[in-house]
Amino acid sequence: MTRRALIAGNWKMNMLRAGGEALAAALTSGIKPGASADLLVCPPATLLAPVSAVLADSSVALGAQDCHMNEAGAHTGDISAAMIKDLGAAYVIVGHSERRADHAESDVIVRAKAAAVLAAGLTPIICVGETEAERDAGEAETIVGKQIRGSVPEAAAEDTIVIAYEPVWAIGTGRTPTVDDIAAMHAHMRQVAGNVLGGADKLRLLYGGSVKPGNAVEILALEDVDGALVGGASLKAEDFLAIAAAAP
């Protein structure tokens, strides 16, 4: 089955308003008509409104990097999926390894956040991935399978969520798994997700972890890789557009 590629840019805690608006404008003017991939940018929460304005009437989608599991309430400093939707976003990243590590987010928390995103009518990008120690111990597939089973909410369907594989040891390090490792993990993910969801032919699986123009072609050509979750390279319009252009 043909699944349309999704190239998502996670800007993380980078950019002020002028830089974010300029980057968004460069993407909207640089994307080619008839592109083979969907483009998505996930700026910091402070930039959701101004970037949304720049992206209006373009084919580039907007997403957020996180949300709270509740729709409203006494949660100082947090934002809800409904608030994110109100700003024009269509996606929310949940369970990124940096959230799991820095904020002690468990599969239970990630699952609740993903459920909140779905309830708001948005698409969650659920992140999974093993540490270097877990891979060295031969536990990579076990860990990732456990995260998928624990993080995908009951309300999910294969065409309402995205799952992104980011080996923790490859994020921002310039290191990537071998193409064979990526292919094997994504095949395993589709099998596990298919068991959870009752099918995964329509499910988009993204690879993330030091994706750049130089390795995008071979990674995106893999059968079970349906796009990329891009970090540092998404902060440069030329690099991000080159990765998008590499999608088959």
Distance CA 71, CA 69 (A): 7
Distance CA 23, CA 19 (A): 6
Catalytic positions: 96, 166
Residue 52, number of CB atoms within 10 A of its CB: 16
Distance CA 70, CA 129 (A): 25
Give the angle subtended at the CA of 206 by the CAs of 22 and 235, to the nearest 5°. 20
Distance CA 124, CA 102 (A): 20
Sign of CA dihedral 123, 67, 52, 128: negative
Query: Do 24 and 57 meet the contact criterion of CB atoms below 8 Å apart?
Result: no
Distance CA 207, CA 183 (A): 10
Q: Under DSSP, is residue 64 helix (H, G, I), strand (E, B) or coil?
A: strand
pLDDT in tens, the chain (248 residues): 689 999 999 999 999 999 999 999 999 999 988 889 999 999 999 999 999 999 999 999 999 999 999 999 999 999 999 999 999 999 999 999 999 999 999 999 999 999 999 999 999 999 999 999 999 999 999 999 999 999 999 999 999 999 999 999 888 788 779 999 999 999 999 999 999 999 999 999 999 988 999 999 999 999 999 999 999 999 999 999 999 999 99
Give the domains, in start order, of the chain with CATH numbers. 5-245 (3.20.20.70)
Distance CA 155, CA 132 (A): 32
Distance CA 245, CA 209 (A): 18
How big is the chain by its Cα radius of gyration, in Å? 17
